[in-house]
Structure 1
């Protein structure tokens, strides 16, 4: 399976989950390493647009394409708590991600809050099998400026 991650140049090869650890996110608390990826490049772009101000969009972004081997386990979140997709996010989703990390999961498939029929994949960079996930490609990514005129 191919997964996509969008970041700025200094972090294109950084799969350590440090950014999520420093800032926390919908599915993890500060102090927990997690790598947020998406099943498609377009969903990944929408996720960035929802979380980054238009002023920061002038920075150069890059797409990191990851190869997630088919034989590695993927957990799917079955029961979503009420308000899982609220903005700002609730602590309930952070607790779900925290339990996933604590129990030693590698990959958790969660619906996107932006397009609920599409999925993001949360990766645990501290898992023993994480080293099997490889970078296939890194390329510059330009966001069409018309997207910021909405």
Structure 2
């Protein structure tokens, strides 16, 4: 099975195909507390584009983006943790404490490779958050990495 990420690359600093989850650990996010590694992925390439767009603060990014396609175990959905969503899971003005707490517990438990959650920008699509510390992370690999230009019309 394949998952997708739209990621930036800065030569000498970070690579788009880095699977460590360190970027999320530095910033924290809706589904991970600052200081805990997590790898955000999308089930569709188009959802990865939407996710990148909403995190661009309205400005056309000039960064070197790559569409990274990951090969993951076929049973990733059937074994994924699916949390009960709190009422504020899709808050737009902040990363809810409730979702960060869910992720902290899930990451600390270390039982599943993936947590399946809906995308805030397209709730009918799923995102899979991967736990880079899980032993099955060794089964996740980069299938493809292609330069990707964000369409300027997304920013008008």
TM, length-normalised to structure 1: 0.93
Is the CA contact (8 Å cut-off) linking 2:83 and 2:102 kept in structure 1? no
Aligned-residue Cα RMSD (Å) equals 1.4
In the other structure, the counterpart of 2:118 is 111
In the other structure, the counterpart of 2:41 is 37
Is the CA contact (8 Å cut-off) linking 2:6 and 2:48 kept in structure 1? yes
In the other structure, the counterpart of 2:103 is 97
1:12 Cα deviation from its structure 2 partner? 1.7
Please give the secondary structure, in 2, of the residue aligned with 1:53.
Answer: coil
What number of residue pairs does the alignment pair up?
Answer: 149
Partner Cα separation in structure 2 for residue 71 and residue 65 of structure 1: 17
Instruction: Show the 5 A alignment for 1:14-25.
Output: 14-25=18-29
In the other structure, the counterpart of 2:8 is 8
Greater mean deviation of Cα atoms: 52-61 or 103-112: 52-61
Is the CA contact (8 Å cut-off) linking 1:34 and 1:122 kept in structure 2? yes
Greater mean deviation of Cα atoms: 56-65 or 112-121: 56-65
In the other structure, the counterpart of 1:122 is 129
For structure 2, the residue ranges without an aligned partner over 5 or more in a row are none
Deviation sequence 1:96-141 (CA, Å, 0-9, x none) = 1111101102101100111111100000011111010111000001
1:75 Cα deviation from its structure 2 partner? 1.9
Is the CA contact (8 Å cut-off) linking 1:74 and 1:109 kept in structure 2? no
For structure 1, the residue ranges without an aligned partner over 5 or more in a row are none
1:147 Cα deviation from its structure 2 partner? 1.0
Please give the secondary structure, in 1, of the residue aligned with 2:61.
Answer: helix
